[in-house]
Amino acid sequence: MPKIKEPTLLLNTDICKRNIRSMNNRVKQWGGYFRPHFKTHQSAQIGEWYKSEGVESITVSSFKMARYFALNGWNDITVALTATILNVDIINDLASKINLNILVEDNATIYALEAALDHPVGVFIKADTGYHRTGIDVSDLSVVKFVLNELKDKKKLIFIGFLTHAGNTYKCKKESEIIEITQNSLNKFLSLKAFLKDDFPLMQLSWGDTPSCSVFDNFYGVDEFRPGNFVFYDYMQSLIGSCMLTDIAVCLAAPVLAVHPVRNEMVMHAGAVHLSKDFVVLEDGTKSYGKAIRISNGKWDVDTVIGEVTSLSQEHGVISLKQNYYSDLNPGDVIGILPVHSCLTANLMKEFLTEDGNLISMME
Amino acid sequence: MPKIKEPTLLLNTDICKRNIRSMNNRVKQWGGYFRPHFKTHQSAQIGEWYKSEGVESITVSSFKMARYFALNGWNDITVALTATILNVDIINDLASKINLNILVEDNATIYALEAALDHPVGVFIKADTGYHRTGIDVSDLSVVKFVLNELKDKKKLIFIGFLTHAGNTYKCKKESEIIEITQNSLNKFLSLKAFLKDDFPLMQLSWGDTPSCSVFDNFYGVDEFRPGNFVFYDYMQSLIGSCMLTDIAVCLAAPVLAVHPVRNEMVMHAGAVHLSKDFVVLEDGTKSYGKAIRISNGKWDVDTVIGEVTSLSQEHGVISLKQNYYSDLNPGDVIGILPVHSCLTANLMKEFLTEDGNLISMME
């Protein structure tokens, strides 16, 4: 293990591989197809661990990411970001090489893409089942039909089905809330199949989000599952109820810069450019940008809590030490931070250091 | 101008150069030394625009950034992040090549660095003048003396003076608040000089932060100024009172993905991995991650407001359209977002596109 001198994102490969195996098994038990989202790790090497579990198809959040994974041997990719006519060149390029699926949600784009594409691509209609970020509201069946009518006879855009992301589960605070939101969204989503089964008997339903896939078990009727964050989980997911702290596979190692016993604080070298400014609000009202714990020789222990990261500037973070905490930690020591949102932290750090001292790289 | 197809950080070079010239002139008027912070742009090419104004010395926020700018011709650099014994190798390397200044704030680190360094480096003591993030509280003169006593006779660590960052100005909502906080911090800071002038007649005071340097004018007694954000400014700085919207030199171009007239929203391809999750709270209580405006052919106009970015996920942003806003914008059109925090947005985007279609790169 190399000596850590600057903010470094540690990856516990055992936990990570266990998370992959566990989610793969869950999806198998439901009889579903696993198309994990790769936006969290963005790493060809971590992608190989999915291949070892038999995974052949993936989801990404941008065309740039699709290109990266296509270059790294993945030939069945869904880009889960609504496509527009601006993406024609890269769609044509990717669709000539791999099985590419895209997302649409408006008739003008469908019309324009059909005219501009050289190669056929699979198409999902983005469905809004309650998150209200993007997609067609599935309760409005007249709009669903209006878009399907535009799409159904196209030669380049091959209708596959509907795709939803019940991202409102991210606002949950416990398992029972996740289950309630999931059931509501799912009911809306499944009604699409009932409504359209005569005209589109092969239509697929694709489902996303880590919280629901981690705790819900009754997905009968859904064909495909696209969770992503579960590969690392994070502090936020542990508070939502998706995982335990011991399921978190990444931890930011950060040097201590100063200790301020008078105000019960510690300052570390790790800020918004390492962790991101995403935060959670704890039960007692504390706004936390990460949970500070001890690490030793690149290994962390979630039971050795130091405190919460209560403020972040560009390169600095302030840790409010837990009550009556006595510290033997000094400037130059290295502590660990369980990140609030592992997707954003990984995206900033761009590489992982494993317990064996190996560096795992991500997409540039 | 190349056609914009994905989130792209636009840079208006005229505004940027005007901001540099204007701040350089302000510091000259005060009779101060300008050592601008380069953490906002992190770009060797933009650094050259400072050189044209006669700037010879800079500030950076990490040793990694110091190495980048040293490789790009800068030979007088202050690393404004408290040093620890972990940084010995890079300090030795840099100090053998350039005039390097570092920050310290505790005796154990001073002792350890003195023993481990091969080359002399300039040293500032980090002073807390009210921000309470890091540094020695300047009101506590016994601690000041305690640290100075450790530092004063060292052979490798050459005491230069005190450095402060009155980052609490970032919480201001108008010019009068900035002036009040600045005056309070400044009074504390200047009292150091009065207290120590007999023993350390050459002692320097180094002052940071864009809000105070943008609106305050009575810095008599301060030797050096290190603002950084002013190079681009941003939406937050305009609300703090440091600048006008027309002084903002960067704007994120983002494709529209969907328009939802029913809920008066638009969805764009630009999320937390482009803008960062930093936000401002507007007067009416709206939490905004950026101000959405129109752009045309790579040029933006701050008077053509579309709405506010009210939520961000990894790659998506939702814009709440301003009241009674009628939109002729459609999926595939490109809009502009004035970023809340230009330092974090630039750090994520890693390059700038100028109005002439040139790409300006940043530190990797």
* ipTM attached to this prediction: 0.95
Q: Does A62 touch chain B (CB under 8 A)?
A: yes
Q: Which residues of chain B have pLDDT under 50?
A: none
Contacts of A234 in chain B (CB under 8 A): none
Q: Smallest Cβ distance to A314: which of B61, B106, B269?
A: B61
Q: Three-state SS for B263? A: helix
Q: Does A171 touch chain B (CB under 8 A)?
A: no
Query: What's the pLDDT at B134?
Result: 79
Please give, rounded to a whole number of angstroms, the shortest distance from the CA of A79 to a CA of chain B.
Answer: 12
Record: contact B84-A134, CB cut-off 8 A:
no
pLDDT digits (tens, 9 = 90+) for B256-307: 999 998 889 999 999 999 999 999 999 999 999 999 999 998 899 999 999 9
| Residues in Cβ contact with B235 at an 8 Å cutoff, skipping those fewer than 6 apart | B245, B248, B280, B288, B290, B291, B338, B339, B340
Other beta carbons less than 10 A from residue B144's beta carbon = 19
Specify the residue for token string 């795992």.
A360
pLDDT digits (tens, 9 = 90+) for A174-228: 888 889 989 999 999 999 999 999 999 999 999 999 999 999 999 999 999 999 9
Is residue B99 a contact partner of residue B77, using CB atoms and an 8 Å limit?
yes
Q: Smallest Cβ distance to A269: which of B81, B255, B276?
A: B81
Q: Where in chain B is the domain with CATH 2.40.37.20?
A: 245-361
Record: contact B348-A344, CB cut-off 8 A:
no
A173 compared with B310, residue with greater pLDDT = B310
Please give, rounded to a whole number of angstroms, the shortest distance from the CA of A84 to a CA of chain B.
Answer: 5
Query: What's the pLDDT at B323?
Result: 82
pLDDT digits (tens, 9 = 90+) for A242-280: 999 999 999 999 999 999 988 899 999 999 999 999 999
Record: contact A347-B273, CB cut-off 8 A:
yes
Specify the residue for token string 């201590």.
A256
Q: Does A209 touch chain B (CB under 8 A)?
A: no
Average pLDDT over residues A338-344: 98
**Domain A245-361 CATH assignment equals 2.40.37.20:** yes
Please give, rounded to a whole number of angstroms, the shortest distance from the CA of A318 to a CA of chain B.
Answer: 7
Q: Contacts by B199-206 with C-beta closer than 8 Å and gap 24+?
A: B200/B148, B200/B159, B200/B161, B203/B159, B203/B160, B203/B161, B203/B162, B204/B124, B204/B160, B204/B161, B204/B162, B205/B161, B205/B162, B205/B163, B205/B164, B206/B35, B206/B78, B206/B124, B206/B161, B206/B162, B206/B163, B206/B164
Q: Where in chain A is the domain with CATH 3.20.20.10?
A: 75-227
Query: What's the pLDDT at B130?
Result: 83
Is residue B112 a contact partner of residue B90, using CB atoms and an 8 Å limit?
no
Residue in A with minimal Cα distance to B257:
A82
Is residue B35 a contact partner of residue B74, using CB atoms and an 8 Å limit?
no
**Residue A25 pLDDT more than 80?**
yes
Contacts of B109 in chain A (CB under 8 A): 331-332
Query: What's the pLDDT at A132?
Result: 77
pLDDT digits (tens, 9 = 90+) for B121-135: 999 999 999 877 778
Is residue B70 a contact partner of residue B97, using CB atoms and an 8 Å limit?
yes
Query: What's the pLDDT at A54?
Result: 97
**Residue A173 pLDDT more than 90?**
no
Query: What's the pLDDT at A297?
Result: 86
pLDDT digits (tens, 9 = 90+) for B299-337: 999 999 999 999 999 999 999 999 878 888 999 999 999
**Residue A133 pLDDT more than 90?**
no
Other beta carbons less than 10 A from residue B88's beta carbon = 18
Contacts of A343 in chain B (CB under 8 A): 314
Contacts of B136 in chain A (CB under 8 A): none
What's the whole-number average pLDDT of chain A?
95
Average pLDDT over residues A293-305: 94
Report the topology of domain B14-232. Answer: TIM Barrel (3.20.20)
Q: Where in chain B is the domain with CATH 3.20.20.10?
A: 14-232
Query: What's the pLDDT at A3?
Result: 92
Q: Does A163 touch chain B (CB under 8 A)?
A: no
Q: Does B332 touch chain A (CB under 8 A)?
A: yes
Query: What's the pLDDT at B31?
Result: 96
Record: contact A263-B343, CB cut-off 8 A:
no
Is residue A57 a contact partner of residue A35, using CB atoms and an 8 Å limit?
yes
Query: What's the pLDDT at A169?
Result: 76
Other beta carbons less than 10 A from residue B235's beta carbon = 26
Record: contact A62-B258, CB cut-off 8 A:
no
CA distance B108 to A330: 9
CA distance A159 to A88: 17
Going by pLDDT thresholds of 50, 70 and 90, the confidence category of residue A134 is confident
Dihedral of CA atoms B251, B253, B259, B265 in degrees, nearest 10, equals -20
| CATH architecture for segment(s) A75-227 | Alpha-Beta Barrel (3.20)
Query: What's the pLDDT at B86?
Result: 98
CA distance A270 to B64: 13
Record: contact B256-A84, CB cut-off 8 A:
yes
